[in-house]
Structure 1
Amino acid sequence: MAILVFGALLLVALMFVATLARRRGNANEQDSVAESIRIHKDRLLALDEEHQRGDLEDTDYQQFRAETERALLEDTRKASDTDPGRAVPLVVVVGVGVVMSASAWWLYGVWGAADAVEVRQNFIDLATAPNPTEAQLMETLDGYEALLQEHPDDMEGWFRLANMQMELGQFSRAQPTLERVLTLLREGPRNAEDESMILAYLGQTLWAQEQAEPALERFQEALEYNAQNTLALGFAGRLTFELASYRSSIDYWTRLKRLAGEDADTQLIDEFISRSEAALAEQGVDYEADVGPSIDVRLALPTAWEGLPETAVLFVYARPTDARMPLAVRRVPVASRQMRVVLTDADAMGGMGGLSGQSEVVITARVSFEGVAEPAPGDWVAEDVTLDLSEQNSFQVDLEVRQP
């Protein structure tokens, strides 16, 4: 399961990176896009019917609907990739209308504001217009943004707007919206993974505006908060290559490859590494990426692992011998009794130093029933193992996770 989840994330990252070599154009033929949109709309209707019948729990309904809406908007963005001044295809308006209608009802539930219903109605009117134009679409999106201006602290609402702007290719408008989201995020309880995600999205908007160096700075900042951000790693690798920083490009791509694991298809990553190595070879440089130590942790869980709740998560840590703050962490679902996790510098989180430069580290593991980082009574814990990192870079450790 963990490999499948990573594979999905890696695929998304590589899809973004692969597009760096070409300008945005007509991504698919209109007939194919229209068929995809029809399928997504049918899926939304089916989800609504299952939810109303009680066949689908509310949590699953919200998750599946959000995923389908995102896929729908991606296809409508492709359909809307036309010359300026041309009429906006009906499928674009219908697709945005679906998402905006859901957003407006959500806003109405949160705020109790009649303006939210008015925004929803504007999108319905736009979707039913015989020849809707880009100007009409922009006017309606402006109405949604104006509605959010009345609630400047609604971080979730601003993120929804930024997401829609990005899906529709409005990167210059999405950039300040994401900056607002980042400010709101930093004003509340700090969350390294969320900050990393928003910073990576900001990097994407800057790249789309052909601002390579500012975009790279955002991706690098995103990696400071979460070294496992595959989107940021992929973009950073490609941008450093385009900026002729081939050593850095190899490092970024190698880190991404190590995150993928042995069972993932890393052919595209290998191609980028080879191109960077070839560029260095032309300069007379024989370079090997410095990716730091690698600790292969083999774990054995109690036979009762099958009775764990769905919220249970396995944490594998490497920390200094004289401190409790971890240097590297992996958080994975409990998938079997025998598990394997590889710790590297790519697993260093915001504020953590990673494994490189450490003479000794302590390796341990813990199963949290609630899936939270803070230890709690009843957690399953492994006995600590101390490793000497001073003489080699590759290690294997066996841990037995025990019930209290």
Structure 2
Amino acid sequence: MTYTTQMDAAKKGIITKEMEIVAKKENMDVVILRNLIEEGKVIIPANKNHKSLDPEGVGEGLRTKINVNLGISKDCCDVEKELEKVKVALEMKAEAIMDLSSYGKTEEFRKRTVEISPAMIGTVPMYDAVGFYDKELKDITAEEFLKVVEKHAEDGVDFVTIHAGLNRQTAEVFKRNKRLTNIVSRGGSLLYAWMELNNKENPFFEYYDQLLDICEKYDLTLSLGDACRPGSINDATDASQIQELMILGELTLRAWERNVQVMIEGPGHMAINEIPANVLIEKKLCHGAPFYVLGPIVTDVAPGYDHITSAIGGALAASHGVDFLCYVTPAEHLRLPNLEDMKEGIIATRIAAHAGDLGKNIKGAKQWDDAMSKARQQLDWPKMFELAIDPEKAIRYRKESIPAHEDSCTMCGKMCSMRNMNKIMEGKDLNMLREDD
């Protein structure tokens, strides 16, 4: 029996090789996984043209995945430097790479990334359109926007961010409800400008069926973008954000009718107390579709430390049911991240994802922490380094300050609680002041 997409296969009762791989990774019964894909609650972004892909699942009951944003821009257009970041991100176990290239050799970077990456690849075709056609934004036609999407699909990207929920109705709600930071989504702001300059409907909303044709052809997953995501604490959970989310829920059902896989993108900047309600609202309005968030960034006043503000929000969001976290680096709001920024962002986001998995009792999450705790109790330093989320940093810190006694560290020395409790529990004496025999 043939199938067009992972969702189509699931509806026909077919277990694909991608489902088998994901089920094994997640220690989940493959039939349960197939049922969740059929319901739209789990996706496996897997473009038919991405030959190097090692598939991952995103959604209910699965480990929280992380995405790393990369790409060339007009100010930083070195393809080789960005490809080096891709390789490091893959080494650091990112499950997704999102190519946000907006200038220069975008096609070369995209194709080379797809070729080498076992991680799923996402793009925002809207970013590429101006450079692809070498035309002013207002002069690009609806047909041309769709052609860029198809080009990205042909090149093998697994998911695309499409801001289809910013239609004329959403735009009117935005105009009537003043915001502190207006529209901060880059793709959303470009689409809003195009709509205003041409006095036309959002082409991705107006020609959504043609967009679905492309997605069905390549098994391209739709990441329905949040053009109206809040860019400040003040704008969170406002009328524009919720209006767009309602439209995205309707577009989700239309996509599922065509067996197109969908995830929903979310905020953004948001006070910590609003995060649980936002997850609940998305899951309700978008029918349980996987939720993909940037952050959320829980305060606006920490430029240079937004990997921390987002990790705080991301951990809470993941614990309440968010399925996919987009990393944020220390360079957020300031500049294009360099390699070290990227590393810090990845580690912070992986910590947030795992903390969320502990909170929602994902299978296998607690066992990792238990293994680390056991290694600490046994003062087994090699095992601690092996289990660390960032072994390189843990080893470096240990080497920078060598203790007099190998079974301790330079913070506690012979007062180490683990060391002393082990001795007492074994019925041994303590030699706090004497030299060891």
Q: Normalising by the residue count of structure 2, what TM-score does the alignment of the two structures yield? A: 0.28
Question: Which of the pair is proportionally richer in helix?
Answer: 1
Q: Normalising by the residue count of structure 1, what TM-score does the alignment of the two structures yield? A: 0.29
Of the two structures, which has the highest relative contact order with CA contacts closer than 8 Å and spacing of 6 or more? 2
